[in-house]
Structure 1
């Protein structure tokens, strides 16, 4: 089983190739998916990255979280499922 890792706050200049080059230092990449805005034809500011092992993924989080990539500070964390995101959203709404 592979875990997806979520990278946020990406520059509009970021490409799948620049992500691959930045993250391949931490292990064998299975997939790099830069999410694109189809209308504007540019990155939406986040991507999903998948490694062969969880250990490699953890190295990437430790090595890249809070670092600069293409002129922006990025945030790297374990991707959450849709149901986890909905649950978190509901909990946050109740706090207000």
Structure 2
């Protein structure tokens, strides 16, 4: 396999998949994402040392053969429930940005800021995480999010096999 396909100029076709349930296997992940295009490479990350060695880390990367396929998979799978957890799917070239909460009073509290050291290391403070979750919930409520409807779209976890609802058998 050409290393430039995964690490070079084709990174716009590479997806980050996060918030994976520990029951989701590498095969199940490929099965979930294969209906959207040709997967040319995948990286299912495991802990390499310590007490959790060999266990899934909760995220993976999938490389499609084209940017269009990656964007379609992102559109269809982001926020989709898998084993009861919403998947986080984004192009690996996208940076994760936390929206600051709308603060009509103009005050900037601790919950609206992240420390420089936390953001540079990729870590977030507890208050920042809580603020981000609250913002996401408000945005979902504003979009008319229905938890009941979302539950119907859950990709179930059973016997380490995950059926893709859009695939006809």
TM category (shorter chain) comes to 0.7 to 0.9
TM-aligned CA deviation for residue 47 of structure 1: 0.3
Moved over 2 A (4+): none
- 5+ residue gaps, structure 2: 1-8, 97-118, 125-169
- Within 2, Cα distance between the matches of 1:31 and 1:16? 12
Normalising by structure 2, we get a TM-score of: 0.47
Which structure has the highest strand share of the two? 1
Determine the structure 2 residue equivalent to 1:29: 39
- Within 2, Cα distance between the matches of 1:80 and 1:43? 22
Determine the structure 2 residue equivalent to 1:2: 10
Determine the structure 1 residue equivalent to 2:150: none
Q: Which structure has the larger Rg?
A: 2
Q: Within 5 A, what are the aligned runs for 1:29-68?
A: 29-39=39-49, 40=52, 41-68=54-81
- Within 2, Cα distance between the matches of 1:66 and 1:79? 16
Which has the bigger relative contact order, CA under 8 A and spacing at least 6?
A: 1
- What is the root-mean-square deviation of aligned Cα atoms in Å? 2.4
TM-aligned CA deviation for residue 16 of structure 1: 1.1
Q: Give the aligned length.
A: 88
Normalising by structure 1, we get a TM-score of: 0.79
- 5+ residue gaps, structure 1: none
